[in-house]
């Protein structure tokens, strides 16, 4: 018997190979098994894709599989097909696809390790050639692989030297293996993989309660809309049928409860459940609800997990100990081999898109996997993406609507504050009452949490001295924290009423950038074409694209003068402005600067939950999934930030952010209030968010997308060309664009570019791009096939992003 396998990580001719199946494992071996096979002089990991008597081995006599690594196949037929789909749709080699989806521990590999065979003290007297001496000395420090030794010299000489040293007995080589062989479970300890493995074992404590029992057990009454949603999805779960659903439920309509009821249905049908969330760190409330109901049957895959933890959660799913897997996008590949239900929560979220390596979208793959596994998939959102909404309208997905909030809670009252008017009003105030002079970054102490300027304010704006001096110019405006009187008043009232407030600003740091007022120089990142952000904590300048940070300078690099001043504002500065306005308020901040460490985020949230925080300032992190009953005011400081991005999805993202933010208010007994400050009060996304009217927003958005031929009315692919040498990058980009233009039929496909990317340089690499728009996917693929075989010059990386989300 023979088996066809994919060598994990291999490319080209070595990707798919045929091996003999030893008699000892012939009965067990099925497609999806992880095996160890010989490849040239090494042993490598492979995944079996086909087993049979007459497989084509390309004429060569096949070698035998060395070892079966798990008793149970790591991939079931549905996941095997999913990975084939992944490779084909995103146009990557299949060996690469497997390498990307497997936890790194699962990749067992052997390498020849060279080490000294004698005591180092003996070597001093020997007459070695200079190269031999170099090798011996390198090995004195540590054993090395051939590849590591290779760096010492030309390979021809090196081989001779190694042969001589080995023959004379000075050095020796041995095969060393890295990676996890197998998870030894109690039942296979001792004689691994010697017995046949049946279906998942029944649970010790069978789950037989149905959705209705849960309602009784937990005393929760579902709304009529929740009941309808649950019953719609229940029948394909029971009948093991594929059906995609779009669960469009307003904020606080009880989507989580629907997921939980459906999960219990799937468990009752003795199947497993996959729940995808955008970011596991932001999903603690959902994870908590699942844990409350299902206890140890829930496994959680973190992106912050180390390799061993990730592998352990895979094994728990594979062995059937975990019946429900909750995880971020990569969990789509976890070995949940008897799927009865897939849930994609917040399906519109861009975190489902992988932005490195294979740029897949887990939301889209979830629908593919559900079809392959014959189970329903539920895509849930209060603000469905335009793509999913279109699929709902075209009846590709069945739309389930939930328009009511649970327990008849009312929607928060949303008001728009026109910052243009506020600015005009403040200009008049300025002549009668002096505005506060602001602290520039120069005058702030490095450890000052709150700047020591507790003066009363006539208006909440915090200005730089420059801005105060030159009046109400528009340049000055960018440099103020725009806290309008109505917003300040609302915060004051909410504080007095002991309500909690969320203040949302989607930008980190203290000042947006530092600029020299003597010569105009703006300090930019040495590696990227973006300005660096000033963080008061530690007085550092940081690049938000590559992570470079350096101490903020005193003098301008350009003119040598002391002219540097901070411009613009982020969450750090907003906290300071609020602290001066409300000295007795307890203010905390949540953004990736304050919640990076494990546990830091939950500590902040505990503070809010226990009532120890009056005002929580944060980036979009605070708009997602938080459910605090005492939050009665949500303030959006500047809605325009996401609106002004150079991206056709900016209106959609703005609407989603504002709706999610507004949804955080009024989730308890008390009515919520939401204030949105903006310079674009008439923009359709802002107005629709005010009225919490998704339907109106999406109608308008669809019209525009159709007109401009953007998704969901067209297919997009972005070809990125990156390299260190700007002239080479632009030259290759031009050639690729020409190639694509030749392949395009002008009536059905458009080639935009080549052009420098909006952020022209990141991490010292120059970036150009070519955007393809086509009506049909096949046309796009035909053109892109030419790009795959384009011979880019050394140092240039060409990558293809299918259905791109990040256009920067
Ligand atoms: Zn200067
Ligand atoms: Zn940078």
Give 655 Cα–ligand 2 centroid separation in angstroms: 29
| Residues measured by CB to lie within 5 Å of ligand 1, the ion | 516, 518-519, 521, 556, 558-559, 563
Going from the Cα of 535 to the center of ligand 2, the distance in angstroms, rounded, reads: 15
CB 539 within 8 A of CB 553: no
The ligand placed nearest to the CA atom of residue 515 is: 1
At 524-543, the pLDDT tens digits run: 998 888 889 999 888 999 99
Predicted confidence at residue 221, as pLDDT, reads: 82
- Ligand nearest to C-alpha 559: 1
Say which ligand is closest to the CA of 759. 2
Q: In this structure, are strands 631-636 and 500-504 parallel, antiparallel, or unpaired?
A: parallel
Q: What is the pLDDT of residues 238-249, one digit of tens each?
A: 999 999 999 999
Quote the CA–CA distance of 244 and 390 in Å, as a whole number. Answer: 13
pLDDT, tens only, 608-661 = 889 999 999 999 888 886 778 888 999 999 998 888 777 889 999 999 999 988
Confidence of residue 155 (pLDDT cuts 50, 70, 90): low
Look at residue 427 in the predicted model and tell me its pLDDT: 64
Q: Which residue reads 């203290």 in tokens?
A: 510
Number of the ligand closest to the Cα of 554: 1
- In whole angstroms, how far apart are CA 9 and each of 41, 115, 369? 16, 27, 23
Q: Residue 281: what pLDDT?
A: 77
In three-state secondary structure terms, 205 is coil
Task: Starting from the CA of residue 524, give the closest ligand.
Answer: 2
- Cα(448)–Cα(457) distance, integer angstroms: 20
pLDDT tens per residue across span 483-511: 889 999 999 999 999 999 999 999 999 99
Residue 434 has pLDDT above 70, yes or no: no
pLDDT at 192 over 60: no
The pLDDT assigned to 432 comes to: 32
Peptide bond into 754 cis (omega under 30): yes
Whole-Å CA distances, 134 to 258, 307, 763: 67, 35, 35
Range 174-185 average pLDDT: 58
pLDDT of residue 46: 92
Percent of the chain at pLDDT > 70 equals: 86
> How buried is residue 544: exposed, middle or buried, by Cβ count under 10 Å (0-12/13-18/19+)?
middle
Q: In what order do the strands lie in the sheet with 615-618?
A: 413-418, 673-678, 631-636, 500-504, 615-618, 587-590
- Burial class of residue 228 in the structure, from the number of CB atoms within 10 Å of its CB (0-12 exposed, 13-18 middle, 19+ buried): middle
CA-nearest of 533, 228, 262 to 402 is 228
Q: Which ligand is nearest to the CA of 528?
A: 2
How far is ligand 2, taken at its centre, from the CA of residue 549, in Å?
8
Confidence of residue 184 (pLDDT cuts 50, 70, 90): very low
pLDDT tens for 44-78 read 899 999 998 888 777 778 899 998 988 889 999 99
444 CA to middle of ligand 1, Å? 20
Q: What is the pLDDT of residue 699?
A: 94
Q: Any idea of the CA torsion for 631, 632, 636, 642, to the nearest 10 degrees? A: 60
Instruction: State residue 591's pLDDT score.
Output: 87
Distances (CA, A) of 324 to 103, 315, 635: 19, 13, 37
Token digits for 240? Answer: 């093991």
- Is the per-residue pLDDT at 222 higher than 70? yes
Note the residue count of the chain: 808
- 553 CA to centre of ligand 1 in angstroms: 12
Under 8 Å between Cβ of 380 and 636: no
Contacts of 256 (CB under 8 A, 6+ apart): 285, 286, 289, 345
How high is the pLDDT of residue 119? 79
Rounded to an integer, what distance in angstroms lies between the CA atom of residue 86 and that of residue 224?
A: 39
pLDDT for position 70: 86
571: CA distance to ligand 1 center in Å? 27
Find the ligand nearest to 548 CA.
2
What is the pLDDT at residue 473?
Answer: 34
Burial of 66 (0-12, 13-18, 19+ CB in 10 A): middle
CA 366–ligand 2 middle distance (angstroms): 34
249-253, 364-368, 547-551, 593-597: which has the minimum mean pLDDT? 593-597
* Alpha-carbon span 615 to 582, nearest angstrom: 10
Q: What values do phi and psi take at 339, rounded to 5?
A: -65, 130
Q: How far is the CA of 391 from the centre of ligand 1 (A)?
A: 54
Distance of CA 763 from the midpoint of ligand 2 (Å): 6
Measured in angstroms, how far is the CA atom of residue 763 from the centroid of ligand 1? 25
Considering every ligand atom shown, identify the ligand nearest to the alpha carbon of residue 516 and give its number: 1
CA 510–ligand 1 middle distance (angstroms): 21
Q: Which residues have CB under 8 Å from 685's CB, separation 6+?
A: 643, 651, 652, 654, 655, 658, 697, 701
The 10 Å CB-count burial string (b at 16+, else e) for 12-47 is: eeebbbbbebeeebeebbebbbbbbbebeeebbbbb
Q: What are phi and psi of 722, to 5 degrees?
A: -130, 145
Expressed in angstroms and rounded, the spacing between residue 515 Cα and the centre of ligand 1 is 8
How far does residue 524's CA lie from ligand 1's centre (Å)? Answer: 13
Here the tokens at position 467 are 């801005």
How high is the pLDDT of residue 477?
40
What pLDDT was estimated at residue 606? 87
CA–centroid distance, 548 to ligand 2, in Å, is 6
Q: What is the mean pLDDT of residues 416-433?
A: 67
What kind and span of H or E run contains 225? helix 224-239
d(CA 302, CA 304): 5
As separate numbers, helices (DSSP H) first and strands (DSSP E) second, the chain gives 25, 30
Ligand index nearest the alpha carbon of residue 562: 1
Please give the structure tokens belonging to residue 453: 């300027």
CA 571 to centroid of chain Cα atoms: 22
> If residue 653 lies in a helix (H) or strand (E), which one and from where to where?
helix 650-662
Task: State the average pLDDT over residues 334-347.
Answer: 93
pTM for this entry = 0.82
Q: How many angstroms is it from 621 CA to the middle of ligand 2? A: 23
Look at residue 627 in the predicted model and tell me its pLDDT.
78
Assess whether pLDDT exceeds 80 at residue 261. yes
pLDDT digits (tens, 9 = 90+) for 71-124: 889 999 999 999 999 999 999 999 999 999 988 777 777 777 788 877 777 777
pLDDT digits (tens, 9 = 90+) for 390-406: 999 998 999 999 988 88
The larger pLDDT score, comparing residue 478 to residue 785, is at 785
User: 141 vs 469, which has greater pLDDT?
Assistant: 141
Return the ∠ at Cα 117 (arms to 115 and 119), rounded to 5°.
Answer: 110
What is the predicted pLDDT for the residue at 402?
Answer: 92
Instruction: For tokens 């080479």, name the residue.
Output: 728
User: How remote is the CA of residue 765 from the centroid of ligand 1, in Å?
Assistant: 27
Residues 666-675 have pLDDT tens digits of 777 778 899 9
SS3 label, residue 334: coil
| The pLDDT of residue 560 is above 50 | yes
Question: Ligand 1 centroid vs 561 CA: distance in angstroms?
Answer: 6
Which contiguous run of DSSP H or E holds residue 651? helix 650-662
Cβ atoms 401, 248 nearer than 8 A: yes
Task: Please tell me which residue, 269 or 147, carries the higher pLDDT value.
Answer: 269
- 103: CA distance to ligand 2 center in Å? 29
User: Region 683-698: what's the mean pLDDT?
Assistant: 92
Q: What average pLDDT does the structure give for the chain?
A: 82
pLDDT of residue 211 exceeding 70: no
Residue 751 alpha carbon to ligand 1 centre in Å: 42
Residue 122 or residue 467, greater confidence = 122
Least Cα distance to 630 among 615, 648, 646, 651 occurs for 615
């Amino acid at each position: 018997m023979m088996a066809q396998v994919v060598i994990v990580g291999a490319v080209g001719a070595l990707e798919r190979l045929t091996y003999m199946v030893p008699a000892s494992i012939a009965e067990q071996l099925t497609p999806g098994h992880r095996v160890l096979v010989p490849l040239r002089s090494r042993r490598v990991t492979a995944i079996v894709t086909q087993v049979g008597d007459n497989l084509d081995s390309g004429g060569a006599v096949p070698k035998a599989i060395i070892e079966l690594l798990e008793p149970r196949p790591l991939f079931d037929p549905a996941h095997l097909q999913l990975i084939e789909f992944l490779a084909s749709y995103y146009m990557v080699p299949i060996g690469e696809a497997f390498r990307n989806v497997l936890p790194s521990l699962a990749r067992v590999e052997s390498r020849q390790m060279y080490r000294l065979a004698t005591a180092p003290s003996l070597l001093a007297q020997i007459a070695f050639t200079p190269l031999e001496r170099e090798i011996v000395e390198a090995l004195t420090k540590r054993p090395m692989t051939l590849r590591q030794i290779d760096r010492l010299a030309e390979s021809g000489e090196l081989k001779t030297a190694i042969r001589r040293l080995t023959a004379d007995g000075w050095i020796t080589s041995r095969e060393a293996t890295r990676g996890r062989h197998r998870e030894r479970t109690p039942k296979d300890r001792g004689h691994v993989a010697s017995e046949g493995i049946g279906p998942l074992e029944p649970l010790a404590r069978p789950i037989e309660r149905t959705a209705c029992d849960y309602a009784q057990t937990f005393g929760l009454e579902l709304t009529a809309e929740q009941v309808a949603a649950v019953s719609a999805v229940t029948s394909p779960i029971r009948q093991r049928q594929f059906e995609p659903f779009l669960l469009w439920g307003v904020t606080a309509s009880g989507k989580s409860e629907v997921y939980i009821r459906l999960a219990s249905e799937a468990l009752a049908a003795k199947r497993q459940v996959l729940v995808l969330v955008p970011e596991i760190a932001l999903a603690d409330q959902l994870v908590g609800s699942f844990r409350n109901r299902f206890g140890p049957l829930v496994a959680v895959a973190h992106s912050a997990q180390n390799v061993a933890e990730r592998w352990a959660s895979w094994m728990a799913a594979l062995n059937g100990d975990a019946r429900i897997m909750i995880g971020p996008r990569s969990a789509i590949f976890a070995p949940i081999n008897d799927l009865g239900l897939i849930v994609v929560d917040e399906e519109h979220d861009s975190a489902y898109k992988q932005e490195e390596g294979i740029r897949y979208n887990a939301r889209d793959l979830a629908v593919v996997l559900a079809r392959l596994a014959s189970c329903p998939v539920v895509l849930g959102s209060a603000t469905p993406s335009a793509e999913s909404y279109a699929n709902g309208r075209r009846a590709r997905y069945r739309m389930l609507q939930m328009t009511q909030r649970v327990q008849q809670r009312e929607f928060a009252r949303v008001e728009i504050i026109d910052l243009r008017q506020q600015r005009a009003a403040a200009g008049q105030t300025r002549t009668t009452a002096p505005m506060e002079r602001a602290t520039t970054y120069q005058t702030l102490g490095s450890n000052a949490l709150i700047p020591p300027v507790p003066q009363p304010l006539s208006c909440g704006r915090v200005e730089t001295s420059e801005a105060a001096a030159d009046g109400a110019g528009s340049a000055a405006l960018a440099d103020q924290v725009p806290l309008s009187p109505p917003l300040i008043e609302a915060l004051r009232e909410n504080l007095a009423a002991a309500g909690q407030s969320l203040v949302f600003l989607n930008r980190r740091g203290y000042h947006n950038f530092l600029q020299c007022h003597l010569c105009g120089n703006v300090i930019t990142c040495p590696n990227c074409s973006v300005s660096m952000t000033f963080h008061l904590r530690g007085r550092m300048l940081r690049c938000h694209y590559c992570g470079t940070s350096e101490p903020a300078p005193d003098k301008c690099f350009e003119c040598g003068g002391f002219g540097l001043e901070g411009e613009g504002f982020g969450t750090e500065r907003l906290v300071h402005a609020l602290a001066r306005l409300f000295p007795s308020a307890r203010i905390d901040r949540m953004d990736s600067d304050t919640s990076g460490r494990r546990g830091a985020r939950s500590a902040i949230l505990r503070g809010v939950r226990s009532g120890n925080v009056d005002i929580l300032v944060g980036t979009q992190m605070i708009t997602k999934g938080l459910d605090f009953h005492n939050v009665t005011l949500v303030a959006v400081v500047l809605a325009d930030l996401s609106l002004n991005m150079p991206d056709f999805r900016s209106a959609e993202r703005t609407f989603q952010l504002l709706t999610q933010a507004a949804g955080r208010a009024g989730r308890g007994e008390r009515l919520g209030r939401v204030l949105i400050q903006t310079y674009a009060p008439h923009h359709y996304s802002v107005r629709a968010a005010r009225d919490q009217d998704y339907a109106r927003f999406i109608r308008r958005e669809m019209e525009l997308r159709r007109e401009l031929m953007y998704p969901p009315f067209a297919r997009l692919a972005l070809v990125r060309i990156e390299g260190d040498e700007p002239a080479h990058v632009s030259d290759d980009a031009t050639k690729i664009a020409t190639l694509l233009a030749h392949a395009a039929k002008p009536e059905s496909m458009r080639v935009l570019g080549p052009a420098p990317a909006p952020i022209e340089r990141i991490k010292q690499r120059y970036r150009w791009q070519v955007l393809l728009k086509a009506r049909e996917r096949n046309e796009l693929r035909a053109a892109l096939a030419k790009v795959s075989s384009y011979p880019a010059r050394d140092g240039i990386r060409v990558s293809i992003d299918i259905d791109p989300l990040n256009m920067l």
